[in-house]
Amino acid sequence: MANRHLFAWQRSLSIALVLALLGFVAGFGWRVDHSTNQKTVLPVSTRMQQDKAGLETLKAKAVAVQQDAAHQKAIAKLAQEEKVKRLNASIPVQFQGKTIREVKLKGKDNPKTQVKPTKAIAPAKLIALTFDDGPWPQMTSKVLDILKKQNVKATFFVVGKQVEKHPQLVKQTVAEGHAIGNHSWSHQYHHYSASAAAHELDKTAALIHKLTGVKTSLFRPPAGILNNGLVASAHQKKYAVVMWSVDSKDWRSGRTTKQALVDNSLKEAKSGGIVLLHDGGGDRTKTIEALPQLITQLKKHGYTFVTVPELLEKGVSF
């Protein structure tokens, strides 16, 4: 009997435990489902609000980016306009319609006229690098890269037909702050009639202005020839005909060396001088190889590099 009562009690206890366990599981399951439903239903409106807020933030950022881009574009435009304005500055009257090989500097820029110059206030030694016959694929861009790296501004005398073929290079030249000069349209050496000579200059000048906004007042005759009609036309048009006082002799191309180019230039360099180099007309690898060393050596000798228009601004005569 006692065993039956014990068995019955154990059975009842087991049933109670089972029922309690089932009740707990059911309750937990309901809470999980209820909690899950809340998590999947309640955040919908919240997410919509968050998405709306995020969208507004993105719109605000997009507007800010656009405004900043417009601001930067406006600044770049003003800088370019100022650069072109500076490059368009008229040359001093004493150089208009004249042929120039070097420039005699004004007193404060002329080492010879300085009164007891000191290291603290050393007289300026100015020199202008010039490049002929471009723009030329690869050659011109490499020269521009070197000048940019060395923080040097130069003057490029461009050939019209080359400008027509490679307009982007002449645009880049002006965009990087270099001066532009006219080197005729066809770079021929024969004699020109008055009308043909005028056409050579005018056609080149018009294309330069169309592409860059620069109205150049500088002319250099091909091969430095002074008596074939081109210079006479340039004088009549009040161009400053810019020759050179320092001949690197890089036009010898394969008949010269990198060191010879540097030595030739250093030997003839002086304040107010104009250096003849080439970025076009053929393979100018020797010029490109020599240019960094030439610039470094001239800097060591105390020279400051200027464009031809800047040199003329500081000059009293030629």
Instruction: Quote the CA–CA distance of 222 and 229 in Å, as a whole number.
Output: 11
Cα dihedral 131, 135, 141, 143, rounded to 10, equals: -10
CB-side neighbour CA atoms (13 Å) of 212: 33
In the set 109, 132, 133, 250, the catalytic residue is 132
Query: Please, which residues bridge with residue 218 across strands?
Result: 240
| 151 φψ region: left (φ > 0), alpha (ψ -120 to 50), beta (else) | left
Candidates 88, 121, 99, 119; CA nearest to 230 is 99
Active site residue 5: no
Q: Give the active site residue among 109, 187, 278, 279.
A: 278
Instruction: Please confirm, yes or no, whether 278 is among the known catalytic residues.
Output: yes
Residue-wise burial string across 200-233, b where 16 or more C-beta atoms lie within 10 A, e elsewhere:
bbebbbebbeebbbbebbbbbbbeeeeebbbbbb
Instruction: Return d(Cα 193, Cα 204) in angstroms, integer.
Output: 17
- For residue 162, give the nearest of 103, 203, 116 by alpha carbon: 203
| Catalytically annotated residues | 132, 278
